[in-house]
Amino acid sequence: MVKRILLDADILQYEIAFAAEAYWKHLFKEKELEPSTDPPPFDICIAMVDERISNIVSGAEGEGEPFLFFTGSQNYRNRIAVTQPYKDRDSDKPFHYKNIKAYLQSRYQWQQVEGLEADDLIGIAMTKNPDKYTCATRDKDLRQISGFHYGWELGNQPAFGPRHIDQFGWIELSSKRDKIVGGGDKFLYSQILTGDSVDTIPGIPKYGAVKAFKTLEACTTLAECEEAVLEAYRGFYGDGGRARMLETARLVYLTRVMDNDKVLLWNFLGEPEQWMDIKTGVISTL
């Protein structure tokens, strides 16, 4: 069944804007001219982004035009992160970053919600209609979500899929044994162990890919995954392990369900569902 592509446009903005700058510099070097201090003409960006999107849709075996998602401001995870500020890092944006976003929003259907990331919006759409869409991104985090996935090749990153990921999923070590490759809930639990240094999400210190893999390798149910991860957190943090695990899990967990302005948070199995109002930060049970 051919599916419509849900495209992570945040990644595309950075990729094309940086690629256009690199291409512009290469042209001057190739012609043995003095490097230009001007940004590349925007026409270069338009040509690159349209070609990239066409190739993504083809590679993902999709149909029609993709639906694009962008990240809004004031992410609700800022209120959850108490150990360390969420995504506390410098982020240099290339010259045409905003111009590419404006072009994409004028050319394609898109969605952006304040308080949510593009990943969250894709997670919500995929959860509502798991058989209707294919998620297209190079961000491994979205592979938490069950459904069809595709990642395009870029540099040293090989293409992924299109491939279906089931709810429980799987994990394996990369060829260099420095990363965990996987999908579904089991992959999510590996992220809870390691955290995410890029997004400044602390996991368990010195818990790398190999150690996380060994912790979860034999687990065959969600309950076993949760027990193994909680034991690891308590082993390092003692009585504070449960709270630290909950914080990390809610930071790495991509939103799957939203009701008006409330998103369903990650919670321990068997406990009442908790929801956060993304505008007020209030956590409650429905």
User: Per-residue pLDDT tens for 217-256?
Assistant: 999 999 999 999 999 999 999 999 999 999 999 999 999 9
Q: Find all residues with CB under 8 Å of 64, minimum gap 6, and list them.
A: 4, 57
Could you write out the DSSP letters of every residue in 53-116? HHHHHHHTTB-S--EEEEE-SS-THHHH--SS-TT-S--PPPTTHHHHHHHHHHHSEEEEETT-
Q: What is the pLDDT of residue 27?
A: 85
How much is the average pLDDT of 45-69? 96
Residue 35 pLDDT > 70, yes or no? yes
Q: Find all residues with CB under 8 Å of 173, minimum gap 6, and list them.
A: 179, 180, 181, 209, 210, 213
Q: What is the pLDDT of residue 21?
A: 92
Q: Dihedral of CA 1/158/13/84: which sign?
A: positive
Nearest-angstrom CA–CA distance, 152 and 136: 8
Nearest-angstrom CA–CA distance, 248 and 188: 11
* Strand residue runs (E) in 84-216: 109-113, 133-136, 147-151, 160-165, 170-173, 180-183, 195-196, 201-202
Residue 88 pLDDT > 90, yes or no? no
Return the amino acid letter for 270: G
Residue 183 pLDDT > 70, yes or no? yes
Centre a 10 Å sphere on the Cβ of residue 127 and count the other Cβ atoms it contains: 17
Average pLDDT, the chain: 94
Nearest-angstrom CA–CA distance, 281 and 278: 5
Cβ–Cβ under 8 Å, residues 262 and 128: no
Cβ–Cβ under 8 Å, residues 187 and 194: no
Q: What is the pLDDT of residue 43?
A: 95
Q: What confidence tier does 1 reach under pLDDT thresholds 50, 70, 90?
A: low
Q: Dihedral of CA 7/13/17/22: which sign?
A: negative
Cα 43 versus chain centre, distance: 29
Residue 207's H or E segment, with its range, is none
What are the Cα distances from residue 50, in Å, to 20, 78, 103? 13, 34, 10
What percentage of the chain has pLDDT greater than the value 70? 100
